[in-house]
Chains A and B, each alone.
Chain A
Amino acid sequence: MSYQGFRSLLPKKDLYSFLVLALILVVVLPLSLDIFRLNLVGKYLTYAFVAVGLVLCWGYGGILSLGQGVFFGLGGYAMAMFLKLEASDPESTKIQSTPGIPDFMDWNQITELPFFWEPFYSFGFTLLAIILLPTILGYIIGVAMFKRRVGGVYFAIITQALAAILTILIIGQQGYTGGVNGMTDLRTLHGWDIRTDNAKYVFYFVCVFLLFVCLFIAQFIRKSKLGRLLVAMRDKEDRVRFSGYDVSNFKIFVFCVGAIFAAIGGAMFTLQVGFMSPTLVGIVPSIEMVIFCAVGGRLSIIGAVYGALLVNFAKTSFSESFPELWLFAMGGLFIAVVMAFPNGLAGLYNTYAAPKVDAFFAKLFGKTPVSHSSPPTPLPSKPTNTKTESVTLPQGVVHEQ
């Protein structure tokens, strides 16, 4: 890529925020945290994948999916199936009535490996499945919904129902899926023990690397014409449609991208935590992932990462000292973010901290400050009811509908 191209993809301001995040994730955290805490950060980062995808879908595309857990689960389960098969070789499952199949199948009187498990012996296929399964499902859902112009609350509820369906299905078909227990006791990846501290370090850095790949893709989409079209669609879908664009195709594309990000997060979750269970598929985690994105700032892909990290840090430390208070805090956070800071941490930063930081750098280098245009439009708002008057937004920006 030419220098010019690079600069247009990553303007100075974005470059700095990428660098700061990289510094924190690659240098500061690994040096300051023990492996237990670092592993936790790795787990939180897997949620950040979902949150980054949500920034694209929701912040830019105006599509709120309350079922991202479905894709997280698909990725996680695909990876778990591969690891489970490796952990259930005939030698270590000798005491079962049918050796060589996963233990939960044996408990459910299944005597041979179901056909759809067979391909998961191959690591290559598993990786392919992690990308392809969510793409296909996302495409089907996308075509069915967006071609028919379903959006807003309808889409949110339908995706939520999908999360419920998948959870009930996984729990009900426990012979094939491990049921409510999930797939536990995953041990090795190609003979390499994934439970050791060394493996945890490796997975952490793999996770950070993949996250940055996703961030770059997201940044590319954001800066491309597609990104601007998404924003235009979000704010006035009909005008984009009347300009001759097929709106639904863009939505389908960005929804699939979000799905793939979520699936990669799920697969990394399985590797770092060592198991996968239906509690990560259902409605509650799906909605929690939306809040990570909202806290970080629904228009900021970097903010989404901070959002996921901070909310989970808060959750862990709160629930260690005041478990009862945690739900109050979480609920309050939902309400506060939505009502008072709709642009999340990124919005707060841009409003309050950014001018000072710029002034500081300007002083340091004796240059004019980088201009801080806030993200394309200050707030995503896609009215589905009949309000057509201009609306005053919390930050005092008048937004002509």
Chain B
Amino acid sequence: MFAEYSSSELLSIFAMQGVAGLILFSVFVLMALGLAIIFGQMGVINMAHGEFMILGAYVTYLTSHVFSTYLPDFFSIYFILAMILAFIAAAALGALVEWAMIRHLYHRPLDTLLATWGLSLILQQTYRTVFGPREVGVTLPDWLMGSYQLTESIELPINGLFVMCLALGISLAVALLMYRSRWGTQVRAVVQNRPMAGAVGINTGKVDRVTFALGCGIAGVAGSAFTMIGSTGPTSGQLYIVDTFLVVVFGGASSLLGTIASAFSISQAQSTMEFFMSGSMSKVLTLLFVVLILMLRPQGLFTLKVRR
């Protein structure tokens, strides 16, 4: 299929395809990071994760609305503020949900799955009631739109670059928090041995709540960022769930590195296959490939050895 193209054309296509893969990778990392933190900490998959993302997206929409109505002069910077607000809103809701629901269910992880699914239904309908069933359009400031012309034939989408930087930044921040802060030490202690952690005076309940809130907050930021590349509607969160869960499970529990490695391999597999075959088939093959590897290596790519 490449015979009719010159080598420079091919080079630029491969470069752009590489960038496309990296963007997909960043999207996956953003989607999965919050979920992975919660999964690693409590062994629980938060089925309402997609709805927390959409909460972030709606917060962004509201912020853009407020700015374009009252503060049109500052419109170009609203996106940064919107992401912060999205984080706060999603984290606050997360903390509330943890307090009201999740903490009663820690000994029954499968039930948490169901309860959070119920929560996702309620959130979806809430969005529909508040914002209407139609999708909303989020206006982006000009500097986030368009592309950056690297060479004559290679163009880099700016929103993609933004998502990449964001994914990098959040991953670094989470890594710092986990491995360089007092709170991170506590989290790791609780993950490795909860009763012992409790015995040495760590408030495990509080650690759980903060972790859950942080995971949800990151989901909110991700949702805010995804207004640049995807849709914002009551059920948009559903578009991301399967990919997200698979990335997390494929990466293995309690390992940030695992999540990142799994996001990388899934995204590269998908974007490479998409280039050579139809979108539907490449999606099926990617999912099958992940499921097959999980069957061979059920604990995921990376696991932390813990005493169970």
Contact = CB atoms under 8 A, between A and B. Distances in A.
Given A154-B298, A158-B291, A165-B291, A64 B113 contact: yes
Interface stretch (B82-90, B103-111, B152-160): B103-111
Contacts of B295: 144-145, 148, 150, 158
A145 B114 contact: no
Interface string A130-167: 00000000000000110011101110111011101100
Interface of B: 39, 42-45, 101, 104-115, 117-122, 124-125, 128-129, 191-195, 241-242, 245-246, 249, 278, 280-281, 283-284, 287-288, 290-291, 294-296, 298, 306-308
B119 A335 contact: yes
Interface string A193-223: 0000000000000000000000000000000
A127 interface: no
Given A145-B295, A145-B298, A157 B120 contact: no
Nearest to B285: A165
Given A154-B298, A385-B43, A161 B290 contact: yes
A149 B294 CA distance: 12
Interface in A300-344: 324, 327-328, 330-335, 337-339, 342
29 contacts: A64-B113, A145-B298, A153-B39, A153-B43, A153-B44, A156-B45, A156-B113, A158-B294, A158-B295, A161-B245, A161-B246, A161-B290, A164-B287, A283-B241, A291-B114, A327-B121, A328-B125, A330-B118, A331-B118, A331-B120, A334-B118, A335-B119, A337-B114, A338-B114, A339-B104, A339-B105, A383-B109, A386-B308, A387-B106
Interface of A: 58, 64, 66, 144-145, 148-150, 152-154, 156-158, 160-162, 164-165, 168-169, 171-172, 283, 287, 290-291, 294, 324, 327-328, 330-335, 337-339, 342, 379, 381-389, 391, 394, 401
Contact of A64 (B110, B288, B291): B110
B212 to A, nearest CB: 14
Q: For the complex, would chain A's binding face be called helix, strand, loop or mixed by DSSP majority? A: helix
A255 to B, nearest CB: 14
A388 B287 CA distance: 35
A284 to B, nearest CB: 8
